[in-house]
Amino acid sequence: MSGDPYDGSRALVTGGLGFIGSHLSKRLAALGADVTIVDSLIPEYGGNAFNVRELAGRVHVNYSDIRDPWSIRQLVQGQDYIFNLAGQVSHLDSMEDPQTDLDINCTAQLSLLEALRAKNPGAVIVFAASRQQYGRPRFVPVTEDHPLVPIDVNGINLIAGESYHLLYNEVYGIRATSLRLTNTYGPHLLMKHGRQGFIAVFIRLALEGKPIRVFGDGSQLRDFTYVDDAVEAFLSAAAEPETFGQALNVGGIEPVSLLEVATMCQEIAAEGGTVETAPWPPEREKIDIGSIYVDHSRLTALTGWEPTIGLREGLERTMAFYREHGEHYWHDRPAPVRL
């Protein structure tokens, strides 16, 4: 897509030190936008100052929690675009600490929208939602009209967070779009624990030459979006008024089974690790959803967006990144980076 809508614009990226947010911030800066990152660097979440090491001096970094309504009220002012990626994204964490998930994914979202309504109603805002909202799929590929019957607290709260955005579009004319992301992966993905999704676990185990354990028979299908493709989805959606008021799926090129993904990770890493299947642990089986992949044709029809990076190529790039920079991602406390 053309960089024109972003050249000279002002863009706020919540969660901008995180996985997708950091790539998006870098791309926006390259397109000529004046970028402000807001991030709280909660240790167990995906924010990592190393993610924006190349942007020092080129973006504004504002340390703040989106649960703090006063700083958000300041930060939304004067922005043309708000890419709203700050969130609690671990399904397991949402079951163990549901209140924190609610605070971040519901309360903070509503207060951000109230701030926008009061202080900057003309901005465009794109919310990072999730296919977790669909729950166990009744059909695949899952379209946006699939019933929303989530099977964890995170899914319930993301539905509310997304719904506030769409409601504020409908009632107040806030130009809001929600993108329902699937398994996004790539460099900058949180690696210091495995609570935000299996793909990080697979990549790290493969790089360490350890066996990857796949629960069940490994035939469950998933789709995968390489992070650069996800970034383009955000840019495309924000630039196309036809997306406003809609929730749109962001998928991958084709669904792949967990067993295939695990095998591919081991092949690319080539560290001698194996793939094993194992019975479901009870607490995980309860929130498993079988095969799921999404239909993103609606986003394509509206914006022309298509995923372009296949899983093998994406994994190769990702593993190359972690071979070089893994030290900044393996542990809880990465070396401080001056921004």
Q: Which residues bind its own copies (CB under 8 A)?
A: 95, 98-99, 102, 106-107, 110-111, 114, 145, 147-148, 150-153, 156-157, 159-160, 163-164, 167, 170-171, 286-287
Compute φ and ψ for 190, nearest 5 degrees.
-60, 130
CA distance 78 to 257: 45
Closest to its own copies by CB, 71 vs 257, is 71
Residue 226 bridge partners (DSSP):
185
Task: Considering the complex, state which of residue 209 and residue 280 has its C-beta at the smaller distance from its own copies.
Answer: 280
Q: How far is the CB of 81 from its own copies (least distance, A)?
A: 23
Provide the minimum distance between the beta carbon of 132 and its own copies in the complex, in angstroms, as a whole number.
12
Work out how close the CB of 152 gets to its own copies at its nearest, in angstroms, rounded to a whole number. Answer: 7
Quick one: CA dihedral 142, 146, 152, 157, positive or negative? positive
User: Least distance (Å) from its own copies to the CB of residue 163?
Assistant: 4
| Residue 113 or 258 with smaller CB distance to its own copies | 113
Give the DSSP letter of residue 211: P
Residue closer to its own copies, measured from CB, 256 or 294: 294
User: Structure tokens of 119?
Assistant: 């202080």
On the 0-12 / 13-18 / 19+ scale of CB atoms within 10 A, 251 is buried
Min. distance of Cβ 286 from its own copies in angstroms?
5
Residue with the two structure tokens 């709203």: 84
106 or 207, CB closer to its own copies? Answer: 106
Return the SS3 of 220.
coil
Distance from CA of residue 73 to its chain's centroid?
A: 23
Q: What single-letter amino acid sits at 90?
A: S
Q: Which is nearer to its own copies, 44 or 97 (CB)?
A: 97
**Which runs of consecutive H residues, i.e. helices, occur in the chain?**
19-30, 69-75, 91-96, 98-102, 108-119, 153-172, 198-207, 227-239, 258-269, 282-285, 297-303, 311-325
Is the dihedral angle over the CA atoms 9, 10, 14, 20 positive or is it negative? Answer: positive
Taking the complex as a whole, the smallest distance from the CB of residue 142 to its own copies amounts, in Å, to 14
Cβ nearer to its own copies, comparing 115 with 275: 115
Shortest Cβ 111–its own copies spacing (Å): 7
The strand pair at 124-130 and 81-84 is best described as: parallel
